[in-house]
Amino acid sequence: MGLPAKNKGAILSKIATNDQHGENSEYFDGWKAYDKDPFHLSRNPHGIIQMGLAENQLCLDLIKDWVKKNPEASICTLEGVHQFSDIANFQDYHGLKKFRQAIAHFMGKARGGKVTFDPERVVMSGGATGANETIMFCLADPGDVFLIPSPYYAAFDRDLRWRTGVEIIPVPCSSSNNFKLTVEAVDWAYKKAQESNKKVKGLILTNPSNPLGTMLDKDTLTNLVRFVTRKNIHLVVDEIYAATVFAGGDFVSVAEVVNDVDISEVNVDLIHIVYSLSKDMGLPGFRVGIVYSYNDSVVSCARKMSSFGLVSSQTQLMLASMLSDDRFVDNFLMESSRRLGIRHKVFTTGLKKADISCLTSDAGLFAWMDLRHLLRDRNSFESEIELWHIIIDKVKLNVSPGSSFHCTEPGWFRVCFANMDDDTLHVALGRIQDFVSKNNNKIVEQISENDQVIQNNNAKKQNWRQSNLRLSFRRLYEDGLSSPGIMSPHSPLLRA
């Protein structure tokens, strides 16, 4: 019959029963809503469109073409099956030598050929999630602190904290300077942590940033390297979007800074890079994560830990061949950047038609969308979640609210644009434009009927419009009004 429900938790571990995974956040709730009602152009045209998944599907055709032309790269083909016995047998946690060499070579190409990487420092892991957790196990003990600029990737709470016991202290960044990170802000957070008797073990950066899509300039990155060296704390840089750059952006890797900074100003034993092929190559299902450290002891420890999350040997074999094909890689990186730039421009231009602006960005698979003018209360995270519910339940788009990324200002949303085809993107843009247009029309009607004085005063009229726009969205949420054909009262979130 089993134990009574109230006693079931008593026989499980603290990890099994705590809530540190973060699965109960709006970030994951949006995914759950999508899973229950996924959009399809023909089979479910009124379903929820997934815009919460940072996935690059724009160049999969190039990879498919390469696979067709190189059947010998797979043990599952007539041309490659002769390698089956060697690949199917046990492989130690170092990984295939040619795979590590190909990864190191590709990491250099993904950074514009400005730096080189040592294959002997390449450590495998099960995706960037596994790589980030592995580096935490290597560098910190339970209760130790890492500083992270906010807003930061929502799943870092899971990846970095859940099983390691490491604590995260955000370094708040604000829209007043376009969320730019400064050494002064890091130093402030560092001192605050020390005043609270916290042991700060390091600083974690995502460069390019998720969710902002911005990149650190070389001066800022150099000063941060100097800062961690002075404080004798680690610097972990998540560079999984290194080649996911468009609009002529110039990505600077921390490896470039390490090479250029005077040796007296950097302790390379404190510098570590996390990488993967999930974003730059659009291969998240392959679960290829990389820890690259300049610290010999970290490389040794991480390699031992990689036994818990190895990349399958047949995946290593195929990728070793693909990433060693310079002609293919060069064309892929160039074409990916071009297509991402076009998609970003189409998407942000479409948002502008709905009077929605985004933070200026030049990298990533998403836009940082500013919807502060649509909030009932611009200073309220409760208002942000109300608006998020409307977007999920009524507009039928899964976007991620800024609060799930620990943004300190309500009203910002991350919205992904590279995980769908062109037709789906246009449907999504149409829904957004229609939603905003319908509510703006309601406001215009209110103006003509109720307030002729304000109508004749442009400055006051704009203030009144913004205030009533927020109120109209609040009423829309409470009354269940919706655009015909695309908003359902049967959302799983409403039922929950």
Q: Which residues are catalytic?
A: 153, 238, 240, 279
d(CA 380, CA 244): 33
Residue carrying structure tokens 């807003």: 151
Strand partners, 40: 44
Between strands 357-358 and 366-370, the pairing is antiparallel
DSSP letter assigned to residue 48: B
Which positions ≥6 away from 120 have C-beta within 8 Å? 100, 299
**For the chain, how many residues are written?**
496
Question: For residue 396, which amino acid is it?
Answer: K
Kindly state the tokens that stand for 385: 């979640």
Decide if 384 contacts 402 (C-beta within 8 A). yes
CA 353 vs. chain centroid, Å, equals 26
Strands across the sheet containing 400-401: 357-358, 366-370, 412-416, 400-401
Give the tokens for residue 495.
């039922």
Give the 3-state secondary structure of 25-57.
CHHHHHHHHHHHCECECCCECCCEEECCCCCCC
Structure token pair of residue 430: 């149409």
Residue listed under structure tokens 């040794």: 300
Contact indicator for 362, 246 with CB cutoff of 8 Å: yes
Determine the 3-state secondary structure of 360 from DSSP: coil
